[in-house]
Amino acid sequence: MSSQVLESGPDTLNKKRLNTVLYTGAGLYAGTLGVLYFAWYQDNEISNFHWYNDSKGWMQVDKFGHATTAYIITNYAYWSLDWAGVDNNKAAIYGGLMGWGAMTVIEILDSFSEEWGASPSDLVANTIGSALFTGQQLLWKEQRFRLKFSYHPTDYAQYRPDLLGENELQRSLKDYNGQTYWLSMNIKSFLREESRFPSWLNVAFGYGAKGMLGTFSNPEEWNGNELPYEKRIRQYYMTMDIDWTRIETNSGFLRLVFKAFSFVKAPMPTLEYNNENGLIFHWLYF
């Protein structure tokens, strides 16, 4: 993407910053693909391009992951373009295209993997995530709804390290039992401007699942070892959250830190509902 396409005007666009954004973004993305290769693809055989319908896999937790990741990449792309002086609408649109494009490249890699394939439902989820950010930025010039992520280690990975990860880095990416995805809504943005309600306090709704030792169902054994019976259970959450980007500070360093962790759901007392146990209260859930 050239700087000429993104040009906002001589009074706002900083071409040196824009070039920094484009080159740095390309380098970071290449590094991320390298990490994903070693975490996901290195042990899989290459095949011809093919489609793969996994819409019912992992109880759709991975689809929430795709949408959230596309949203996060779009958000960072927007901030980078905004820092370079690109106006709001162009930064929102091109940021959305960059986020969606980054996720589409990963889908192309999947399409040539013998174990997986290009997933139509993944493409839909990617589109929803990028569109959610871009649409809000065009409509409100702010993010009233944020997609967020939290993760906690589980015991399930020990039974299927091939599928759920052999180390903590792999498990944070692969073990969907420990991942929760959140829609975090900023309350004050829907109140009157003179309201004294804290601008950083959100309400969040989460989704996750547990008991998954396989993509679509749980096998009875793996690698010659009998696996324990685990019931696959959907989990729904409601809690409060912090919008880190709305915390006022004069420190440029803290603003940078808050943006870096803007996609992380704050640990909070949380109410969970699932069909197995009904309502459950967690004093602190992450």
pLDDT tens-digit map of 236-261: 999 999 999 999 999 989 999 999 99
CA dihedral 249, 254, 260, 265 (to 10 degrees): -60
Specify the amino acid at residue 224.
G
The pTM of the full predicted model, rounded to 2 decimals, is: 0.90
Query: Which residues of the chain, if any, have pLDDT below 50?
Result: 2-11
At residue 3, the pLDDT reads: 43
For 75-126, how does the pLDDT look when each residue is reduced to its tens digit (9 = 90+)? 999 999 999 999 999 999 999 999 999 899 888 888 888 777 889 999 999 9
At residue 40, the pLDDT reads: 66
String of b and e for 167-204 (b: at least 16 CB within 10 Å)?
Answer: eeebbbbbbbbbbbbbbbbbbbbeeeeeeeeebbebeb
At residue 5, the pLDDT reads: 44
Closest CA to 146 of 176, 178, 187: 187
- Residue 81 is encoded by which pair of tokens? 């373009």
Closest CA to 134 of 78, 183, 188: 78
At residue 9, the pLDDT reads: 41
Question: In the chain, what percentage of residues exceed pLDDT 70?
Answer: 94
* Structural domain spans, the chain: 10-141, 144-286
At residue 228, the pLDDT reads: 94
CA 184 to chain centre: 13
At residue 39, the pLDDT reads: 65
